[in-house]
Amino acid sequence: MSDTDEIDRLADTPHPREAQALFGQDEAEQALLENYRSGRMHHAWILGGTEGVGKATLAYRMARFVFANPDPSRVGDVPSLATAPDQAGARMVASQSHVDLVVLRRVWNDKSKNFFSNIRVDDVRDVVRFFGTTAGAGGWRIAIVDCAEDLATAGANALLKVLEEPPPKALFLIISHQPARLLPTIRSRCRKLALPGLEAPDLLKAAVLARPDLEGAPLQGSLPIAQGSVRRAIALASGDGVKIHQSLSGLLARLPQIDVAAAHALADRCMGKGSEENFALLLSFLDDWLHQRLLAEQGAPAHRLARWAEVWDKSRSAARDVEAYNLDRKPFVLSTLSLLAQASRA
């Protein structure tokens, strides 16, 4: 990986800012369009939903539309947020050269040769200053946060300052994979827009458009466990994702017992050069399982909920350290399975 890679781009696929089509999210798109057309556009939106369902695609689609139609009263009865790709603002968004668009995301760390584990607080402060200046094109200024879970507490608090007192014609599109985990103060200042997982027909069309080379059996086989996520469907179809899901599911079904050989075999699939996507899939599968476990424990004694929440927090923190400092992934996998076994046994 290098500083030309982007944390919010899946390998070998177009970046969301380059996507012209949006699949399966008509309701969310219409909500943004109608709010903008009303002339009373809310300044901050949380676009929530599973990773890979089109949140970033919708955010960039909205940004292009606003730049192309800066006066809401002149939008008329257009049916969608679609913008011609050769429109000047759309070209600048695609080339990352629009002076009135800023994107907050994790950036490359030259020292560790990896991405920073969080969105840097200095980058957030730059965004605050950005909104204190005059719009370069004299109209809207837009910030896309991708994603909010990557904001550390200091960064979230810095962003909160401009969310509380936004200047005129400011628009924040905040992408969140788990909105409930955001600071309540941030949630209270934003409109929430939930994007559901894609149904199989839309999921297949979106995945084939992004990766035509995967069309066929591999992609079809990934759909049942993709949870409506284009990103996950592609990752599953292009690597060992299906096997990782099967291996992890088998291990989790036997908790609190651990099949040591199977655990080592699973960890080995996430090691070495080129296995980054395997590791990312494993993390997402673990996250899903813990989320479902917490939902299943609702109504249980508080100490049981706290136990699983603690495992979730520990595993997330350890995973960030592994990615930030290029640590060996195998100890993480084995220790996380051990934590899950201890929690199950208790």
Q: What is the mean pLDDT of residues 87-103?
A: 95
pLDDT band at 301 (very low <50, low <70, confident <90, very high): confident
Mean pLDDT, the chain, whole residue set: 92
Q: Which CATH class is domain 16-194?
A: alpha beta
CA angle, corner 86, sides to 83 and 90, nearest 5? 55
Task: Quick: pLDDT tens for 174-233.
Answer: 999 989 889 999 999 999 999 999 999 999 999 999 999 988 888 888 999 999 999 999
> What span, in angstroms and rounded, lies between the C-alpha atoms of 196 and 119?
26
In angstroms, the Cα distances linking 34 to 29, 39, 40, 169 are: 9, 9, 10, 16
Q: Which of 130-139, 283-292, 335-344 has the lowest mean pLDDT?
A: 130-139
Query: Within a 10 A sphere around the Cβ of 102, how many other Cβ atoms?
Result: 16
Tell me what pLDDT residue 304 has. 85
pLDDT band at 117 (very low <50, low <70, confident <90, very high): confident
Name the one residue in this structure whose structure tokens are 């997982």: 197
Is pLDDT above 80 for 3?
no
Q: What is the mean pLDDT of residues 67-86?
A: 95
Percent of the residues in the chain that have a pLDDT greater than 90, as a whole number: 71
Tell me what pLDDT residue 295 has. 85
Q: Which residue has the higher pLDDT, 308 or 346?
A: 308
Is pLDDT above 60 for 77?
yes
Would you list the domain boundaries of the chain?
16-194, 239-345
Q: Which of 60-64, 130-134, 339-343 has the lowest mean pLDDT?
A: 130-134
**Helix count (H) and strand count (E) of the chain?**
14, 7
- Give the CA count within 13 Å in the CB-facing half-sphere of 167: 14
Q: Contact at 8 Å (CB) between 18 and 93? A: no
Q: Residue 268 corresponds to which tokens in the numbers above?
A: 């080995």
Tell me what pLDDT residue 265 has. 96
pTM of the complete model: 0.83
Q: Which residue has the higher pLDDT, 175 or 3?
A: 175
Residue 73 DSSP symbol: G
Of 194, 150, 178, nearest in space to 47 by CA: 194
Say if residue 147 is preceded by a cis peptide, omega within 30 of 0. Answer: yes
Tell me what pLDDT residue 233 has. 93
Tell me what pLDDT residue 2 has. 41
Tell me what pLDDT residue 300 has. 80
Q: Render 90-111 in DSSP notation, one character per residue.
A: HHHHHTT--TTEEEE---EETT
pLDDT band at 275 (very low <50, low <70, confident <90, very high): confident
Q: Which of 53-57, 90-94, 168-172, 222-226 has the lowest mean pLDDT?
A: 222-226
Percent of the residues in the chain that have a pLDDT greater than 70, as a whole number: 99
Tell me what pLDDT residue 323 has. 81
Q: Coil, helix or strand for 292?
A: helix
Q: How many residues in total does the chain contain?
A: 346
Q: What is the mean pLDDT of residues 89-105?
A: 95
Tell me what pLDDT residue 205 has. 95
Tell me what pLDDT residue 149 has. 92
Tell me what pLDDT residue 1 has. 39
Q: Which residue has the higher pLDDT, 239 or 203?
A: 203
Is pLDDT above 90 for 4?
no
> What span, in angstroms and rounded, lies between the C-alpha atoms of 32 and 160?
22
> What span, in angstroms and rounded, lies between the C-alpha atoms of 24 and 7?
24
Q: Which residue has the higher pLDDT, 341 or 7?
A: 341
Q: Which of 15-29, 173-187, 204-218, 294-308 has the lowest mean pLDDT?
A: 294-308
In angstroms, the Cα distances linking 175 to 96, 182, 250, 263 are: 18, 11, 32, 33
Is pLDDT above 80 for 333?
yes
Q: Contact at 8 Å (CB) between 66 and 212? A: no
> What span, in angstroms and rounded, lies between the C-alpha atoms of 161 and 34?
27
Q: What is the mean pLDDT of residues 233-240?
A: 87
pLDDT band at 84 (very low <50, low <70, confident <90, very high): very high
> What span, in angstroms and rounded, lies between the C-alpha atoms of 224 and 226?
6
What residues are paired with 46 via a beta bridge? 174, 192
